[in-house]
Structure 1
Amino acid sequence: MKILLTGGAGFIGRWVALKLLEKGHKVWILDDLSNGSEENITQLLNYEGFQEFLRGSILDEDLLISLFQEHKFDICYHLGASINVQDSIDDPKTTFNNDTIGTFNVLERCRENNTKIVFMSTCMVYDRCVNKNGISEKHPTKPASPYAGAKVAAENLVLSYYYAYKLPTVVIRPFNTYGPYQKTGGEGGVVAIFLKNHISNSPLSIYGDGNQTRDLLYVEDCAEFVVMAGFNDKANGQIINAGLGKDISINDLAFLITNDNKRIHHIEHIHPQSEIDKLLCDSSKAKELLGWEPKVTLQEGLERTKNWLLKG
């Protein structure tokens, strides 16, 4: 298959590219490096299927038109986006342009070339979990930040192309993903930040009371889910969740990593209005449609991520 991967130099994108290359596909990566890094894809250059890395934006319509016309992609995995909640609150226009307008631009090129698109959304579109079985795709949405709002708008656009043009489209909502190659700074995920601070003997800072829970999905399981959504016609026109199926409070996560309550500090929340109290995923639809299930436990995933950070 000839595959375009937007956001392929980012954290999850890098792992998706690796999975695709391991399966023998031809991969082009488009990324503006606002979240990603060329270092993330250096390992990929050794694969025969790796075709090209283009530093460019999904807002550049001329670039997208020429790319699709030249290569006639079979699938587009669209991961390129602004992903930071606080950034979206401070500057909603940039997030809207990248996540909604950018998605429209990619959709139009896919429509013109009958290219299947797998759109990466987020669990942040959901309201808090209210039952023990977790959040299914039928759970209420609550876009509590411009980031989530832009993603919901893009989701609806993606699905409209399925119904209006019979374009094969899939909306995927992975829950909180972590693992090697995730940023460990302010824009990184909680696991990467906690592990880095633990290794450097720094305090682990928790926003708010720390009782909020997260369903933490290891990145290789996430990448396998993303790839599978592109190669199964049962996924077309669907919204599909992926998560571990177990949640953990941020307090418990911090203690699991440090085993020392004295190193855990609580600080004022930077965006309490956009916090989701409980995130727990119901992935039964992914199992039913794709045959996907997570393989890596939280403990194993934390160990793998810590070992990667220690090597770095």
Structure 2
Amino acid sequence: MADVYFDPRLSELAGASVLVTGGGGLVGSRIVAQLAACGAKPTVLDRFDAYPHPVRDLFRVDQHGARVVLGDVRERATVKWLAGHADYVIHAAAYADVAACTRRPDTAFAANVHGTQTVLDAVMESSVKRLVFVSSASVYGDGTPTEDSVARFAEDQPLTPISVYANTKLWGEHQVRLMLGGSGSEYSIVRYFSVYGDPQIPKPGSHSWMVPWLALSAHTGKPMRLNGGGHQVRDMVHVEDIAHATILALVTDQAAGQTINIGTGIPTSVRRIAELVAAHYPRAAFIETPMPEGDPRGGYADTRRATDLLGWRPAITLTEGVNRYVNWLRTTPGAVPDWFSAPTTAALAA
């Protein structure tokens, strides 16, 4: 972990037990690593089925987690026992693929609604100081475009989710407030914008996670697909920055009872992301494809709360983050999943 993430404000977590549901995934594993670096004792609860083994091994969960539990957030006895031994909880476990949630709303409900309720029940019966609920900018839907035709999302604006995934996240936000507001456990809600960073890889049939989709396509000699022409806007936040902000929400007094956007405040079109990737692959090609169901036009974060309440600003620019991802692809054997075609000599020429 880069020295930039050393934060003396997190010193109060030294020795604290932190349960991280979904701690074996991309974001969760970075949260666990940063918790361990500041002296906390993170406990990981995860099904470990979101990523294939060759990539998942790179998350180093066993190295950073004080306790690693293979389990499901719907397992009431397991969650109750773990919460009962925790000082803090970060609930990051979710079925987080927009397209997959649209295809399987029953699975989305089981993981994101039933699982969240199980965690909340356990926290209510524990002495947990604070729970951070990981939500998503998808709860905003398409929002209202501004004069420059790009929507800026502020935490107190009306929410109009347009996907099953977004619906489950909005329900989770409401339920956290209903159950923990006025209880013995504090809460904070963080709305992630578009998270990226190695070793993130896309899933078959998904249209989420633009950086890995575009980079893997260029890396393997496939054209980069621009759904809807690539005019959608995303606020791209590196996973290391996301993890840092989440942990700050766990301990910052001003964050108690608050909902906070975690984004850069910079709107970037999907086409622009593709252009940053293409700079590494001179023979890269683009292809325009139809807009998938549930894919929002997007927008960018109003970041004033993150700055004012958390004292947080992202440290990694999109250009730097894309460079890191492409370098990871080029230097990591087995980074390309089996279902992607083998790299071609032409695509790899730089």
How far apart, in 2, do the equivalents of 1:154 and 1:184 lie?
A: 25
1:197 aligned residue (214, 217, 238): 217
Normalised by the size of structure 2, how large is the TM-score? 0.82
| Counterpart contact for 1:127–1:139, Cα < 8 Å | no
Cα distance in 2 between the residues matched to 1:146 and 1:110: 26
Deviation at 1:89, TM superposition (A): 1.4
1:172 match: secondary structure: strand
C-alpha deviation, 1:57, in angstroms: 0.4
Unaligned runs of 5+ in 2: 1-15, 333-350
Query: Which amino acid is 1:191 matched to?
Result: V
**More divergent stretch after superposition (197-206 vs 131-140):** 131-140
How many angstroms does 1:5 deviate by? 0.6
Task: Provide the rounded CA distance (Å) in 2 between the counterparts of 1:46 and 1:261.
Answer: 39
Q: How much has 1:164 moved relative to structure 2?
A: 4.2
**1:75 corresponds to which residue?**
88
1:240 paired residue number? 260
Aligned with 2:26 (options 11, 16, 40): 11
Instruction: State TM-score, norm by structure 1.
Output: 0.92
Alignment pair present for 1:263 and 2:285:
yes
* Higher alpha-carbon deviation: 203-212 or 130-139: 130-139
Q: Which residue of 1 aligns with 2:320?
A: 300
**Contact (CA 8 Å) 1:234, 1:289: kept in 2 or not?**
yes
* Deviation, structure 1 residue 201: 2.2
2:105 corresponds to: 92
Which whole-Å deviations, capped at 9, do the CAs of 1:160-180 have from their partners, x for residues lacking one? 123242420111101001001
| 1:187-226 mapped onto 2 (5 Å cutoff) | 187=206, 189-226=209-246
- Deviation of the 1:36 alpha carbon: 4.5
Please list every run of 5 or more consecutive structure 1 residues that lacks an aligned counterpart in the other structure: none
Distance change >3 Å, CA 6–CA 275, structure 1 → 2: same
SS in 1 for 2:292: coil
Give the corresponding residue for 2:134. 120
| Percent identity of paired positions between Structure 1 and Structure 2 | 27
Paired AA for residue 86 in structure 1: A
Q: Stretches of 4+ moved more than 4 A in 1?
A: 259-262
Corresponding pairs, count: 306
- How do 1:266-285 residues align onto structure 2 when only pairs under 5 Å count? 266-271=288-293, 274-285=294-305
How far apart are the structure 1 equivalents of 2:227 and 2:81? 45
Match of 1:150 in 2: 168
Structure 2 equivalent of residue 177 of structure 1: 195
Question: RMSD value over aligned CA atoms?
Answer: 1.9
Query: What are the superposed Cα offsets for residues 51-87 of structure 1, whole Å, 9 maximum, x if unpaired?
Result: 2211110111121123234xx2011110000011112
Q: CA offsets per residue over residues 201-237 of structure 1, 9 Å max, x none?
A: 2210122222111010011111100111101121111
1:52 aligns to what? Answer: 67
**2:127 is aligned with 1:103:** no
